[in-house]
């Protein structure tokens, strides 16, 4: 009878409306949870509230914020559907799970174990909000946005054994990932977990063994190499967007660097849809080319033959002229003492933010136009 009933007590956050008021029937500011679940799903509501609840602070909630949780559930579901669709044509063989490992596999295995360490530490410290952010970053960015994209070429290769090894490994990581997500999104994870392979009657993800950290598989060099790939691919995609180059159009890239290996170049070409990529310390920027700087690397993309340079110059000049006129108007407003002193502080600050954003956009447009000269 005198035993201590529990050793830890966790106080959850108070959920308030967007104005910081407690939810109550008299104020009419409390959405019916069943209505929110009907619109967005129980997992979306659960995950959203946990994600918005920093330790020791209240949650400012509105039903619309559950779009975030619903999108996350959809992301997981789509990744699972992609792997399972491939499993219809590719044999899943557990004996090949550790075979044909390449750069992408080394990296995702390392990131998974790093994430598991961070996740366990957060849960042990009752940092539930931080745990949701850790798992969200791994699922959305590392696994879905990068790893799934990186394995597509090997899944569509001619070698059946390589295809089997890649898919088996991806499904194994995916299943363990579902176990980390399960405490926050129990329904969608249970549903997908049941589909990944044939299960015994009564078998559930909630009673399955939780993944264990394998510190020997954490590979800091693979993480650094992948960071370079991500930065270069992102820079190339940004240039495509700025120059109106369709994502489907193949381009050539020159990379001025001494820090990119052949395996990194191979993935950069595949993910960024690059026809020819040459890397070296002595690369010179060609005429009429777009460029970007990523840490110790310089990226050059020749544009001649890729876009109509005259049309693009005219478009950029027209946008620069329009933006200069808009910027002149806002600068005139901010130079008016009556406006600055008489308008509410948040309105003035909003105009100043707009001014800074437009100045930066104008600088960027002029820089792009100059690169086409």
Q: What is the pLDDT of residue 341?
A: 84
- pTM (2 decimals)? 0.81
Domains of the chain as residue ranges with CATH: 90-218 (1.10.730.10), 221-300 (3.30.2320), 309-371 (1.10.287.380)
Alpha helices in the chain (DSSP H): 33-40, 42-51, 66-87, 103-124, 128-137, 148-155, 160-181, 186-196, 220-242, 262-272, 309-334, 337-342, 345-371
The rounded mean pLDDT for the chain is 89
373's CB contacts (< 8 A; 6+ apart) are 288
Intra-chain end-to-end CA distance of the chain, in Å:
85
Write down the pLDDT at residue 91: 93
Q: pLDDT (tens digit, 9 = 90+) per residue, 96-111?
A: 989 999 999 999 999 9
d(CA 29, CA 23) in angstroms, rounded, equals 6
What confidence tens digit (pLDDT) does each residue in 301-359 have? 888 878 777 777 787 788 888 888 888 888 888 888 888 888 888 888 888 888 888 88
Give every residue of the chain whose pLDDT is below 50, as ranges. none
Residue 260, pLDDT score: 87
Cα torsion through 326, 313, 239, 259, rounded to 10: -120
pLDDT score at 137? 96
């Amino acid at each position: 009878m005198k035993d201590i009933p529990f050793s830890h007590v966790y106080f959850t956050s108070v959920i308030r409306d967007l104005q910081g008021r407690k939810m109550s029937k008299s104020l009419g500011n409390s959405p019916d949870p069943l209505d929110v679940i009907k619109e967005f799903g129980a997992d979306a509501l659960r995950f959203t509230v946990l994600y918005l609840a920093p330790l020791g602070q209240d949650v400012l909630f509105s039903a619309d914020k559950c779009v975030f949780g619903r999108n996350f559930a959809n992301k997981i579901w789509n990744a699972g559907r992609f792997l399972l669709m491939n499993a219809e044509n590719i044999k899943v063989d557990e004996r090949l799970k550790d075979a044909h490992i390449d750069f992408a596999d080394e990296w995702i295995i390392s990131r998974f174990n790093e994430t598991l360490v961070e996740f366990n530490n957060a849960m042990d410290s009752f940092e539930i909000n931080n745990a949701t952010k850790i798992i969200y970053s791994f699922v959305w960015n590392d696994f879905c946005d990068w790893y799934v994209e990186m394995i597509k070429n090997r899944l569509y290769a001619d070698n059946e054994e390589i295809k089997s090894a890649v898919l088996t490994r991806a499904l194994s990581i995916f299943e363990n990932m579902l176990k980390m997500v399960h405490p926050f999104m129990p329904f969608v994870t249970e549903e997908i977990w049941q589909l990944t392979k044939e299960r015994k009657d009564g078998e559930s993800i909630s009673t399955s063994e939780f993944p264990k950290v394998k510190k020997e598989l954490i590979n800091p060099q693979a993480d650094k190499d992948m960071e370079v790939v991500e930065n270069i691919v992102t820079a190339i995609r940004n240039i495509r967007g700025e120059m109106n180059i369709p994502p489907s159009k193949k381009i050539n890239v020159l990379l001025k660097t001494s820090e990119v290996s052949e395996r990194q170049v191979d993935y950069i070409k595949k993910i960024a849809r690059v026809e020819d990529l040459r890397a070296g310390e002595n690369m010179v920027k060609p005429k009429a080319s777009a460029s970007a700087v990523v840490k110790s690397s310089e990226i050059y993309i020749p544009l001649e033959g890729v876009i109509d340079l005259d049309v693009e110059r005219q478009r950029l000049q027209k946008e620069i002229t329009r933006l200069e006129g808009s910027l002149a108007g806002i600068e005139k407003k901010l130079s008016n003492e009556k406006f600055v002193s008489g308008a509410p502080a948040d309105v003035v600050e909003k105009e100043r933010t707009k001014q800074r954003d437009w100045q930066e956009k104008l600088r960027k447009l002029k820089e792009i136009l100059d690169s086409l000269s």
